[in-house]
Structure 1
Amino acid sequence: MSNWVKTILFLIGSAVLTHWIPSSFFRNLDTMVHEFGHAVATLALSGKVMYIELYRDHSGVTYSSMTKSWAVIPVSLAGYMTASLFAWFLFSAYAKGKQRLGLQVMTAVSALSLVLFVRNSFGVTFLLGFILMTVLALALAPKWLRDFYYLLLAFLCLEESVFGPGSLIVYAMQNSRSAGDASNLANYTGIPAIVWATLFTLFALWCAKQAVSAFLGRTKKARRTNRPAAMGSYRE
């Protein structure tokens, strides 16, 4: 079975499984990472981030101003690309047995977002709750529960990082002005929003493929490690 087929099956499977688990609260993690990517890109290009808002429906918005007009392009690209790369990072960390590092990075990004950017009430409440739960998982949870928590977050980020830009294609087909970052890029470059939405989706799928490959590699390695050693026979 090709890695692309495995990736698609994993995405479908994770979408089904995570919808069986009360996971709506945690889906805001991908939104937070997306908006954090916009904010970091803005600051890197000498812009100013006024604030970020996160909403209950898993959407978000970054309010910023930029002195360089061309900066609209990298800043608009940064959101979905950061979310896709972050999902890949989480699975790469898992493949190396560094789940604690992954949770620490999630906590650090959440804390920076809370202190520097997020100002609306739901966003602040989400970040405080998420930081508290993640710190408790790091400090008190047994390894099996911490690993379950980590994989839940990783699969949610993977799913959201692909289905998010995928939904932009639908929005761009219905109304090119309602496709979020793809619309911003279309307005500045003249390239249709559906083209940008498709590029976001292809990049997300490529990152998902790398993430699934890392996950399957870890699983195969663990299976080989747990396999009992063959008994040898010796003659005197």
Structure 2
Amino acid sequence: MHGSTIGQVWQQVIGTQPTPPLTLVLVTAVAALVVVLFGPVWRVARNVVTIAHEGGHALVALLSGRRLTGIRLHSDTSGVTVSVGKRTGPGMVFTGLAGYVTPSLLGLGCAALLTVNHLTALLWIGLLLLAAMLVMIRNAYGVVSVVATGVLLFLVSWFTSATVQAAVAYLITWFLLFGGIRPVYELQLKRSRRQAPDSDADQLHRLTGVPGLAWVTVFGLVAVGCLLVGGYWLVPDLPTFGDLTS
């Protein structure tokens, strides 16, 4: 879109783009899965999941009437969102629940946009969400993480071809869908070793009396469900074994 007028940019954002070939969809799926499974790369890419996680806490806190005071993102890919309001009640429960399910739900939302060929809109919505979150970041590492992610999205959406934009949009979507599952596994692994006494699941246990493991199960079911539904939306015409042998 480099050199385009504002009107042309707007038409590009709200318009639809050509459906990419199935090969691109499948290659980006494999690439995203490798990123999630390969430890050294995951430790860097997980920052994106943390941004989504803390953004989910922040959004639900605001929607439930709490006052958001700040978000911090740390170099170990952990984060914390601080809000002020009642210490008990549905608002706190939904705020606590939002973190681990948000990356997967975002991935599902991205998949929905891709099924109707709004690839550019997906990238620009991501930019807007990052800009809104940046206002509430309260530490240097968090600012760097959000700005760096936003700059990458802007460069892709403004300077690259439709094919590159499609590849990035699908890669982001698959990464959120796959990447929403691994943190849930890591959470339960830490809980089993008693290394996360103040995790979201344990805070929800103290708020509701429902066991922490039950909340981890809810996180996992949402993540797996989003992957299955989102994956079906992205590759609905994938040949089955019967098709290949007939």
Asked if these proteins are the same fold (TM beyond 0.5), I'd say yes
Q: Are residue 202 (structure 1) and residue 221 (structure 2) matched? A: yes
Answer yes or no: is the 8 Å Cα contact 1:95–1:218 preserved in 2.
Answer: no
Secondary structure, aligned partner of 2:180: helix
Q: Give aligned pairs, total.
A: 210
1:93 alignment partner in structure 2: 113
Q: Are residue 141 (structure 1) and residue 163 (structure 2) matched? A: no
What letter is aligned with 1:15? L
Distance 1:49 1:95, change over 3 A: same
1:168 alignment partner in structure 2: 187
TM-score (norm 1): 0.79
Answer yes or no: is the 8 Å Cα contact 1:26–1:153 preserved in 2.
Answer: no
Distance 1:14 1:130, change over 3 A: closer
Structure 1, unmatched stretches of 5+, are 1-9, 221-236
**Equivalent residue for 1:83, pick from 79, 89, 103:** 103
CA distance in 2, matches of 1:52, 1:190: 27
Q: How does 1:49-64 map to 2 (within 5 A)?
A: 49-64=68-83
1:226 alignment partner in structure 2: none
CA distance in 2, matches of 1:73, 1:193: 13
CA distance in 1, matches of 2:156, 2:220: 32
CA distance in 2, matches of 1:27, 1:40: 20
**Equivalent residue for 1:44, pick from 63, 76, 82:** 63
Q: Are residue 129 (structure 1) and residue 148 (structure 2) matched? A: yes
Q: How far off is 1:67 after superposition? A: 2.5
* Structure label with greater radius of gyration: 1
Secondary structure, aligned partner of 2:86: coil
Secondary structure, aligned partner of 2:138: coil
Q: How far off is 1:69 after superposition? A: 1.7
CA distance in 2, matches of 1:134, 1:12: 21
Distance 1:219 1:20, change over 3 A: farther
Answer yes or no: is the 8 Å Cα contact 2:33–2:178 preserved in 1.
Answer: yes
Q: How far off is 1:176 after superposition? A: 7.9
Q: How far off is 1:20 after superposition? A: 9.3
Structure 2, unmatched stretches of 5+, are 1-27, 240-246
Answer yes or no: is the 8 Å Cα contact 1:114–1:127 preserved in 2.
Answer: yes
Q: Which moved further from structure 2: 11-20 or 188-197? A: 11-20
Distance 1:157 1:208, change over 3 A: same
CA distance in 1, matches of 2:198, 2:81: 15
Q: Are residue 65 (structure 1) and residue 81 (structure 2) matched? A: no
TM-score (norm 2): 0.76
Q: Are residue 109 (structure 1) and residue 129 (structure 2) matched? A: yes
CA distance in 2, matches of 1:64, 1:183: 18
Give the fraction of aligned pairs with identical amino acids, expressed as a percent. 23
Distance 1:130 1:12, change over 3 A: closer
